[in-house]
A and B are shown apart, each in its own frame.
Chain A
Amino acid sequence: MVLSRRSPRQPAWHMLASEFGESSLHEKGSGEFDPSFVITKLGAKVNRLIVAGLIERLEPRETANGSTLYQGQLRDPSGLHYFSVGDYATEAMREMAIELATRVESGESLMLLMVAKARWFQNEEGAVYTSLRPEEACIISPSVYREWLAKACEQTLIRLDAQQKTVSLEANRASLSEAGIADHLIDGLILAKPHYGEFDSEMFRFNIMQALDIIENKDISREKPLVSEEKVEVGDSSEANEEPASESDLKQTLLSLIDALDQSEGVDFDTLLSNAAARGHERDAAEAMLDELSDGGEIHEPRFGWFKRT
């Protein structure tokens, strides 16, 4: 393996889905061979990452030029990763995608760990979508999943702490270095600060707490905090619904959520289910209702995993 002198191999960041998914900043060096990076809210400058979770979906799709693209979702305690395995993937990855797609289809629960390249896509309106292109992956046991979770929590906590420090510091190398922030975090933090500005990091802490609970085998039934982006003025949003709501309530809730949260792209699967859950609806029931609404034509997916009112 000859390493290019221009750009050494990029390290892999242990990262939870929410941190990667909420990124809206990217950077590429101006050199032709310079790697490109996604910059997360917590200042990680990511080219390669190592993630893990339950395979929630893995399906083949035909692309415009006739080749098969396997698109999948990986769920970890913080949310969903989106990944795709296409023609350019290694033989090992393609064979795995084919085999796993069949197994997932037949209802098997599989935990996957993958080392992947960060991908981002920006549409005409400037919205940034991140996804993964796996390089190497394997099915893991619950104990290896816990090992990965522990490492991801550790690294995320370090990044969280560093990001909090930068709030009151000047965004330059010297002041961040003096504040004791690790060298490899500094570039990303300097780029993240002006772009993301101030934001509520409560959700990140919550995700970490959940992950730690999972590691320790504790009961994971915490009330999710309603972060400002997710607050919806529909019905009684201030109180969580205690009794299980009826089916028609669920249908109404989902439709109103889409109405309220759709900003032209539609609303993504995860956000819908999370908000529905905060209103007392079971995730499985909500998912089934979404399928029903889709089949009935009341909602549609302009893009895989994003729902709009028809």
Chain B
Amino acid sequence: MTSGMDVHVQQVVAQVPGADPNKVEEAFIRYEKDFLVPPEDAFRSVLRRFQSDLGEVKPATGGASSSAALPNRKVSRFSELKGDDRNIEIEVKITTHNPRIQMIRGEEKQIAFGTIEDMPWSEGEGDIWDYKDWGQNQNLSPGAIVRLEGVSVNEYQGKMSLNINQSSRIVVLQEGTRDVVNPSEPVEISTIKGEGMVTVVGRVLASREDVIHRKDGSGSIDVVRGRIGDDSGVIGFLSWEPFTHEVGSLIKIQHAQVRSFRNTPELNLGHSTKVEVYRDTNFASLDDLSLLTVSRIEDLTDGNRDVECVVEVQNILVRTFSKEGGEEGKVWSGEVADPTGRCRMSCWQEPPFTEADLPVVVKITAARVRAWQGIPDITVDSAEQMELLDSPPWGKDLDLSENVVEVELNTLTSGASRVGISTAGTIVSVREDSGIIRRCSDCKRVLREGACATHGEQEGVEDVRLRMVLDDGSATLSLIVNRDACLALLSSTEDEIKDRIMADGQTVFVQSLRERMLGRKLTAIGRTIVDEQGAMLLAESCTLEVVDTVLLAAELRQHWGVA
């Protein structure tokens, strides 16, 4: 028994003269072991127990309740709960989870708060409540469906929320989508996604003072913006507290908040963040890391800031527009490429090259990235951010004019939308609506039952399209084959296809497509759109691959040692 416990045992005995000190000590030990409540916090409960003469503490099975006398109450909706409910059991879905450091009674404690939704198994929205987790539970990942046992209701100023106590039990029924990170252990920068609290060790790669103006004009805040990197990646940071670490210094940032600006995570250094100098002679040097600061097109995502990259500008055109106040503004937009892909670029000042000079290779610094329909747009505000290079860092031999990057199917489905890619997979489905479709004359959307979702009933314009599913055994994507690609793939004209459908009917036509393509390997070139609904590839060309099976069999024998 710790000396701390001694004191508390004495206190209980002092207040309850008949109490057996051994039993009191046992009670404190039980609280500590079974309910994870330290003596100073258990004091009141133990005291109450001995005052009411119950004596022994019975650990409930699974440590579900700190009060054996209070029965476990199971509910299915928050609306069934009252402000004084304790020891509740309910199944919920975790919507958010945010670890924080809070000062409680003079001590720094790690707690988490967030929101939960009841009726997690039903379609349609359940009710949402706030919760506070006092038990440092690591399994409350957003998206997970859990059964909470032994939780209590907290009513404060009329608002009810749930307290997940240190003694509460959490059973995960369905895994969430994000792992809960221990906010005090350093993590690799490339793993930082989404919201949360993290600790990182990295080298300061950029740092500059900035000012954030309050939207209501009531003042401004001095902040420091910069970038910090380790050998896995680089991330931007925004410090609300003074930050004087110089570029090149190796620091440990503890308990930074991750906020997403558009799709890009950023470290926010706030009041409870601790920044200190870190010593590690093996850490990557500034030179090593500066290679990482140069972005590749395949890495760009919506919301990137302070981007440095080298691209080949392939075409550019200028557009004029009217600004507020009648002035004329100009924007130069173009298409750019590097060995990892293609995307767009927008410049708000005249660039240091003309259309006649193209193609040119430029180094761009301090740019920001926006995205449109999944395609990144490198946005440059001033011409000084662009520097013409004599030769590209990837060597003069690489011709980027038609470059298409080969990417594995499961990499495409788990990444951001991309342009100019090629991938291959097995055709596992030919959708029933493949063939002749009609598109809305106004917005080009596919008409359903003769009507456009936005523009209503109409004749529309005829088009040819195939819809299939491409699969590599671990991921799938929706393949949409456009008109030209279709006609080439089927070696057919639009009229021939129409005639066939008229003669044989839609079902037979689609089945004939299956006879040609189901189970075959297909390579498709085009661009992807990846969002919550999944991954889609808009193909501008497709080829059915002929597999040399004899060669493949021989390779398999050799590789796997099969006789």
Binding site for B on A (CB under 8 A): 1-3, 5, 8-14, 29-34, 48, 50, 52, 90-92, 95-96, 113, 115, 135-140, 143-144, 146-151, 153-155, 157, 161, 182-184, 205, 208-209, 212, 215-216
B519 contacts A140, CB within 8 Å?
A: yes
Query: Is residue B429 contacting chain A, with contact meaning CB distance below 8 A?
Result: yes
Please determine whether A209 and B549 come into contact, CB atoms closer than 8 angstroms: no
**Minimum distance in angstroms from B409 CB to a CB of chain A:** 10
User: Is there an interface contact between A138 and B471, defined as CB atoms closer than 8 Å?
Assistant: no
Query: How distant is the Cα of A147 from the Cα of B518 in the complex, in angstroms?
Result: 12
* 11 A–B contacts, CB within 8 A, in A order: A1-B467, A10-B476, A12-B471, A14-B426, A34-B174, A115-B518, A137-B518, A140-B519, A161-B560, A183-B474, A216-B550
Of the candidates A95, A136, A148, the one having the most CB atoms from chain B within 10 angstroms of its own CB is A136
A212 to B550, CA, bound (A): 9
Judge if B520 is at the interface, Cβ distance under 8 Å.
Answer: yes
Contact status A31-B552, CB under 8 Å:
no
- B459-487 residues at the A interface, CB under 8 angstroms: 467, 469, 471-476, 478
Across the interface, do B476 and A9 meet the contact criterion of CB distance under 8 Å?
yes
Min CB gap A193→B, angstroms: 19
Q: Is the CB of B519 within 8 A of A147?
A: yes
Residues of B contacting A137 in the complex (Cβ-Cβ under 8 angstroms): 514, 518
Chain A residue nearest to B477 (CB atoms) is A9
What 8 pairs across the A-B complex have the smallest Cβ distances?
A184-B474, A146-B549, A215-B553, A138-B514, A113-B519, A12-B428, A3-B534, A150-B549
| Smallest beta-carbon distance B166→chain A, Å | 26
Distance between A62 CB and nearest chain B CB, rounded to angstroms: 25
Q: How far is the CA of A151 from the CA of B471 in the complex (A)?
A: 12
Assess whether A144 is in contact with B472, with CB atoms less than 8 Å apart.
Answer: no
Decide if the interface of chain B is mainly helix, strand, loop or mixed. Answer: mixed
- B279-306: CB near A (< 8 Å → 1, else 0) gives 0000000000000000000000000000
Total A-B contacts with CB atoms under 8 angstroms apart: 126
Q: Which residue of B lies closest to A44 (CB)?
A: B473
Return chain B residues, CB-CB under 8 Å to A135: 429
C-alpha gap A139/B514 in the complex (Å): 9
CA distance A137 to B196 in the complex (A): 47
Partner of A155, one of B123, B410, B473, B562: B473
Cβ proximity bits B527-553 to A, threshold 8 Å, 1 near / 0 not: 000001110000000000001011011
- Contact indicator per residue, chain B 116-130, by CB within 8 Å of chain A (1) or not (0): 000001110000000
How far, in Å, is B70 (CB) from chain A's closest CB?
28
Are A208 and B562 within 8 A (Cβ)?
yes
Interface size class of B (residues with CB under 8 A): 35 or more
Evaluate contact between B533 and A139: CB separation under 8 angstroms.
Answer: no
Contact of B431 with A149 in the complex, beta carbons under 8 Å: no
* B145 lies within 8 A of chain A by Cβ: yes
Q: Does B318 contact A (CB under 8 A)?
A: no
A147, B550: Cβ atoms under 8 Å? no
For residue B74, CB closer than 8 A to chain A, the reply is no
Cα A14 to Cα B145 in complex, Å, equals 32
**Cβ of A150 and Cβ of B519 under 8 Å apart?**
no
Contact B510 A92 (CB under 8 A): yes
- Indicate whether B398 reaches chain A with its CB closer than 8 angstroms: no
Contact A150 B547 (CB under 8 A): yes
In angstroms, Cα B531 to Cα A3, docked, is 11
Contact A212 B473 (CB under 8 A): no
Which residues of chain B have a CB within 8 Å of any CB of chain A? 121-123, 145, 173-174, 410, 426, 428-432, 467, 469, 471-476, 478, 507, 510-511, 514-515, 518-521, 532-534, 547, 549-550, 552-554, 556-557, 559-560, 562-563
Q: Which residue of A lies closest to B469 (CB)?
A: A9
Residue numbers in A under 8 Å from B557 (CB-CB) = 212
20 additional contacts (CB under 8 A) given A30-B174, A136-B430: A1-B467, A2-B533, A3-B534, A5-B533, A8-B476, A11-B473, A11-B474, A30-B121, A33-B123, A90-B432, A113-B518, A115-B429, A135-B429, A136-B518, A138-B515, A150-B552, A183-B474, A184-B475, A215-B549, A215-B553
Write the chain A residue with the least CB distance to B545: A147
Q: A161 to B556: give the CA distance in the assembly, Å.
A: 13
Shortest C-beta distance, A234 to chain B (Å), equals 30
B562 A11 Cβ-Cβ under 8 A = no
Complex: chain A residue closest to B560, CB-CB: A157
Of A48, A113, A154, A182, the contact of B552 (CB 8 Å cutoff) = A154
Residues of A within 8 Å of B552, CB to CB, are: 150, 154, 215
> Nearest CB to that of A15 among chain B residues?
B473
Residues of chain B within 8 A of A140, CB atoms compared: 519
Q: Contacts A50-B519, A157-B556, A161-B560; is A1 near B478 (CB within 8 Å)?
A: yes
Q: With A and B bound together, what is the CA distance between A150 and B478 in angstroms?
A: 24
Q: Given the complex, which residues of A lie within 8 Å of B145, measured CB to CB?
A: 30-31
**Contact among B121, B174, B432, B534 with A9 in the assembled complex (CB-CB below 8 Å):** B534
Chain A contacts for B472, CB-based, 8 A: 11
Known: A137-B518, A147-B547. A50 touches B556 (CB 8 A): no
Q: List the B side residues contacting A115 at CB < 8 Å.
A: 428-429, 518-519
- Cβ of B474: which chain A residues have Cβ within 8 Å of it? 11, 182-184
User: Shortest distance in angstroms between B231's beta carbon and chain A's nearest beta carbon?
Assistant: 19
Determine the distance from Cα of A153 to Cα of B547 in the docked complex, in whole angstroms: 14
Q: Are B428 and A8 in contact (CB under 8 A)?
A: no
Say whether A31 contacts B174, CB under 8 Å.
Answer: yes
Q: Indicate if the CB atoms of A95 and B519 lie closer than 8 Å.
A: no
Which of A13, A91, A157, A215 is in CB contact (< 8 Å) with B507? A91
Contact A50 B514 (CB under 8 A): no
Which residues in B have their C-beta under 8 angstroms from that of A182?
474
A90 to B431, CA, bound (A): 12
A40 shortest CB reach to chain B, Å? 14
Q: How far is the CB of A220 from chain B (nearest CB, A)?
A: 13
Q: How far is the CB of B148 from chain A (nearest CB, A)?
A: 15
State whether A147 touches B521 (Cβ < 8 A): yes
Determine whether the beta carbon of A209 is less than 8 Å from that of B562: yes
Q: A154, B556: Cβ atoms under 8 Å?
A: yes
* Residue from B478, B553, B560 with most neighbouring chain A CB atoms (10 Å): B553
B511 engages A92 (CB within 8 Å): yes
A12, B507: Cβ atoms under 8 Å?
no
**Min CB–CB distance A132 → chain B (angstroms):** 14
**A147: chain B residues within 8 A (beta carbon):** 519-521, 547, 549
